[in-house]
Chains A and B, each alone.
Chain A
Amino acid sequence: DTEVTQTPKHLVMGMTNKKSLKCEQHMGHRAMYWYKQKAKKPPELMFVYSYEKLSINESVPSRFSPECPNSSLLNLHLHALQPEDSALYLCASSQMAVGNEQFFGPGTRLTVL
């Protein structure tokens, strides 16, 4: 399996809802990433996990809470989001080596009402 999968594909939520985004990879990658991408813009890094430990948090608001239950799974828990959080949320994974490429999932299109 050489793909990163993400569920759900689309998500619509209200500002008081709690939801979770899921990401899975079975390539043995030990680095996993969450990005936020607005239309026609590059991805913005949110979080990086290395060996299932949070190594980078790019000053993301606490209404976004990442979790890495094991080496294949990455979750992003959402609570009390704002309409400006509507975006495409991308998960990626990579080997931890020089020249490693990041493999991206298809993303979850999130709309906050």
Chain B
Amino acid sequence: AQRVTQPEKLLSVFKGAPVELKCNYSYSGSPELFWYVQYSRQRLQLLLRHISRESIKGFTADLNKGETSFHLKKPFAQEEDSAMYYCALKRGSNYQLIWGAGTKLIIKP
């Protein structure tokens, strides 16, 4: 079954500390994975996609096919990183996304 798992509902770290938001997936084919972020009172927006291997706002994510993971990392958290983060898997050749349950990230001052 195709599935995305984000094991942490809530993650709270201090400003300046490293952050890792976990995402594991289950998919039989070649996965396309995304991280979306939803800041308070703002629209859901794309943060990262694995095929572009980019770094946005200091965040990176590497696809590990052996561990079926796509964890989101940032070496030094900032208060403005506080938001809801969703990992998503594109379902096959159509345009559906399978969403993880989300992780609420709180950065403490």
Q: Which chain A residues have a beta carbon within 8 Å of chain B's beta carbons?
A: 4, 31, 33, 40-43, 45, 48, 50, 55-56, 90, 92, 94, 96, 98-107
6 extra A-B contacts, CB within 8 A, seeds A40-B84, A41-B101, A102-B46: A42-B101, A48-B95, A56-B96, A92-B44, A98-B32, A99-B52
Interface-centre pick from B42, B51, B99, B100 (highest chain A CB count, 10 A): B99
Would you call A42 and B102 a contact (CB within 8 A)? yes
Would you call B102 and A40 a contact (CB within 8 A)? yes
B-chain residues with CB within 8 Å of residue A90 when the two chains form the complex: 43-44
Q: Which residue of B lies closest to A50 (CB)?
A: B95
Would you call A42 and B86 a contact (CB within 8 A)? yes
Q: Which chain B residues have a beta carbon within 8 Å of chain A's beta carbons?
A: 32, 34, 42-46, 49, 51-52, 84, 86, 94-97, 99-102, 104
Would you call B43 and A106 a contact (CB within 8 A)? yes
B-side binding surface: helix, strand, loop or mixed?
loop
Q: A40-B104, A99-B52 are in contact. Are A31 and B32 (CB under 8 A)?
A: no
Q: For the complex, what is the distance from the CA of A42 to the CA of B5, rounded to whole Å? A: 12
Contact of A99 among B51, B96, B97 (CB under 8 A): B51
Q: For the complex, what is the distance from the CA of A40 to the CA of B32, rounded to whole Å? A: 24
Would you call B94 and A102 a contact (CB within 8 A)? no
22 A-B interface contacts by CB (under 8 A): A40-B84, A40-B102, A41-B101, A42-B99, A42-B100, A42-B102, A43-B99, A45-B96, A45-B97, A48-B94, A50-B95, A55-B94, A90-B44, A92-B44, A94-B95, A98-B51, A99-B32, A99-B49, A101-B49, A102-B95, A102-B97, A105-B43
Q: How far is the CB of B53 from chain A (nearest CB, A)?
A: 11
Q: For the complex, what is the distance from the CA of A74 to the CA of B49, rounded to whole Å? A: 26
Q: How far is the CB of A92 from chain B (nearest CB, A)?
A: 8
Q: For the complex, what is the distance from the CA of A94 to the CA of B46, rounded to whole Å? A: 12
A-chain residues with CB within 8 Å of residue B32 when the two chains form the complex: 98-99
